[in-house]
Structure 1
Amino acid sequence: MNTPTTIFSGVEDPRQEWRCLHPLENILFIALATMICNGEDFEDMVIFGEQNYEWLAECLDLSNGIPSHDTFNRVLQRLRPDSLLNSLKEDGQQLLDVVNEKQVILDGKKLRGVSPNQKGNKGLYILSAWVGENNICIGQQKVKNKSNEITAIPELLDSIELAGATVSIDAIGCQREIAQKITQDCDAQYFLSLKKNQRNSYQIVEDAFRFHNPSKFDLMIEDGHGRKEERKCTIISMASLPEEEQLTGWEGLKTIVKIESNRNVKGKESKQVRFYMSSEEISDPKYYNLLARGHWSIENQLHWHLDVTFNEDACRARKDHSAENLNILRKIALQRISRMDDKLSKKKRRYKASMDHNYLISIIS
């Protein structure tokens, strides 16, 4: 089994060594195992430790017993998230060799349980970098108070290795400076959602498809559970447009994309047109249709599971760094649960791990 040393060896202990009764690795390992085994908060960590004392004693130094609720609370409040975040990155890298030719999705999520408790505090908002193909989080960045994702995105891009990847970001990240950073600094490609917040660029792209109307397209159809959706994707190479119709100021821009969605949910129809900008020069519309669809995997496979499988929004831990550190531990737990090769849902895997030590060991190791 992976020991605490292998999982959390690089995490810096914020406590004074002479006052510590419990090694930091013990606290973090029990916290992670609790998350895997259907636990949610500091009280659950104590219960898990007490109920699994003999098993834990085989791999941990429990000479001072199981840490108390207050100990778990204090440590996770004081622990620097960037130190614990390295464990998340390293855990992801063990499961993912390289991001070359993979789609890396950047998107944010607010932890609803972390309510503002003082003037000017907007709560905790986390921007994550997600590899949808492998269901792995390779980095995250806290969005600071009185700020937004636009300032957090460059910091996140600087913290992860992206060479050869295609970075997809929603409309808030559709900025010239971010496009330039992805192509020049990160040696990667971009796929940016374009909306009317970029008024001039949006108008130029909209007019390009209105006047040129490409004949080549890709049609994707999804049908099931009372929902049917058709997505038609057409593309235009920037090189094919007359000079006066060129979209300038966007570093590396090669292709503009239009996706027309027609959705029918239980008889109710809705239509939507979305535009994207890409630094890639692939001539097959299906490729861009898959990128647009793949972008939503961060909502379906990460944010949804944090909320529903791990009940993150109900967590009331909010003091100092506790909410952010618990979010990181949940992501490590989710990555390891997702690796299991069985037919159980992720929620059922957590339940089974809480009753079967061998199954828990197979998740952790």
Structure 2
Amino acid sequence: MLNEIFMTVPDHRVTGRCTYALSDLLTIALLTYICGGEDYVDMSEFAYYRARDFGLIADRPDRSPSPDTFERLMSAVDPDEIERCLVEHGRKFLDTLAEKQVVIDGKKLRGTSPKQHGSKGDYIMNAYVSENHIVVGQQRLKDKENEIVAIPQLLEKLDIEGATISIDAIGTQINIAQNILDRKAHYFLAVKDNQGALNEQVIDAFRYNKPTDSASQMDADHGRIEIRDCRILKADTIEDKDVLARWPGLKTLVEVTSSVDYGDHTATAVRRYISDEDYPKAAYFNMLARGHWSIENQLHWNLDVTFLEDACRARKGYASLNLSTIRKLAMQVIKEHVDKSSLKKRRFKASLSNDYLTDMLLKAKF
């Protein structure tokens, strides 16, 4: 059954006052996003014109849910239950996180924080498997400064044994590194000015020591050419041994210089990382550095550009979080249907053809 993924979501609505099954409404919301819809009105329109083609709300042929119905639903459903559906769907394609790179990064739901409300808005901390483009967990927080608290909470939800956890500089904290090691996983952490002493020592290590290995990788996409040169050093090249001793299990220092040729100009950036792994090949760490940015390029960019998440103004109750989770589930469904079309074009095709949409759902194991 198409709506089976939402069957286990508890329905706390008043018995006898609800016209439509909860699982049907959630499935309609998902299909609306897959087909290029953006808001509650689009969900209502999809329900009226196409839901019965997929066996949804078929027991009420004389009525269709209104936009208000979807607004009340998304505001009230427990976001942990919708997140569980997202994670369980990902597990159909990924049984274990061992030997995978799990990227942790936060994204602000911009539409939830208009200036006139005086709110900083919601952030969602995502755990994203870079190799499979699958979200395996998320954690809601009210302020970006709380990421340091939210990261261990998110990691606690995941079985990360054997995985490599990569986090941007805000998560480069001694206790987080120790937490990852205690969970029998590896860390790959960005180093910036928030860790001043460590950052200076890593810069000096590469300035005064010859790398133990180096590797270069080139990518061409969207009219630009990017070259990433990676160099690695043993962690014991850090001169200040007190700084070295603070970081549990630290084995490797990584420096990546990225040069992006846009045709009319070139942009260069240097990024540095620390890792508890002592793999001797720079190409491996170059791959991790590229994978670390996949959450920005593959997840956050698509949510904003393809699904227009930043334009969403849903603020009531749990709506912003629930809608974001359903967008991620829609994205996973679309990405499983591999063809030469972009995600945007695949959504357009799904809006035109029931056969195309059905094939997409079958490949996504619905």
SS in 1 for 2:189: strand
After superposition, give the CA deviation of every residue in 1:155-213 in whole Å (9 maximum; x if it has no partner). Answer: 111112211111111111111111111110x3211100001110111122222222222
Q: CA deviation at 1:355?
A: 1.8
Could you give the per-residue CA deviations for residues 235-267 of structure 1, whole angstroms, max 9, x where no partner exists?
A: 112356678476121122111111123333324
Alignment partners' CA distance in 1, 2:58 and 2:177: 47
The amino acid across from 1:3 in the alignment is L
Give the Cα–Cα distance (whole angstroms) in 2 for the partners of residues 117 and 243 of structure 1.
46
Q: Distance in 2 between matches of 1:248 and 1:341?
A: 47
Within 2, Cα distance between the matches of 1:219 and 1:56?
49
Instruction: Output the CA distance in 2 between the equivalents of 1:200 and 1:100.
Output: 32
Q: 1:76-225 alignment to 2 at 5 Å?
A: 76-116=74-114, 121-145=119-143, 147-184=145-182, 186-214=183-211, 216-223=213-220
Instruction: Output the CA distance in 2 between the equivalents of 1:53 and 1:293.
Output: 40
The residue that corresponds to 1:296 in the other structure is 293
**Closer, same or farther in 2 for the Cα pair 1:213/1:325, shift >3 Å?**
same
What is the alpha-carbon distance in structure 2 between the residues aligned to residue 345 and residue 84 of structure 1?
26
Q: Secondary structure at the match of 1:218?
A: strand
CA shift, 1:14, in A, is 3.2
Q: What number of residue pairs does the alignment pair up? A: 362
Q: Which residue of 2 aligns with 1:33?
A: 31
- State the TM-score, normalizing by the size of structure 2: 0.92
Q: Is the 8 A contact 2:109 2:122 kept in 1?
A: yes
Deviation at 1:103, TM superposition (A): 0.7
Q: Which amino acid aligns with 2:299?
A: L
Within the alignment, does 1:330 sit opposite 2:320 as a pair? no
CA RMSD of aligned residues (A): 2.2
Q: Secondary structure at the match of 2:279?
A: coil
TM-score for both structures, normalised by structure 1? 0.92
Change (3 A) 1:119 1:360: closer
1:53 Cα deviation (Å)? 4.7
**% identical aligned pairs:** 46
Q: Which residue of 2 aligns with 1:311?
A: 308
Give the Cα–Cα distance (whole angstroms) in 1 for the partners of residues 307 and 268 of structure 2. Answer: 33
Matching of residue 262 in structure 1 with residue 259 in structure 2:
yes
Are 1:69 and 2:67 counterparts? yes
Cα distance, 1:359 vs structure 2: 1.7
Give how far 1:215 is off: 5.3
CA contact (8 A) 1:104 1:130 kept: yes
| Contact preservation (8 Å) 1:127, 1:152 | yes
Change beyond 3 A, Cα 1:227–1:348 = closer
From the superposition, tell whether residues 147 and 209 of structure 1 become closer, same or farther in structure 2 (CA, over 3 Å).
closer
Counterpart in the other structure of 2:21: 23
Q: Distance in 1 between matches of 2:246 and 2:60?
A: 60
For structure 2, the 5+ residue unaligned runs are: none
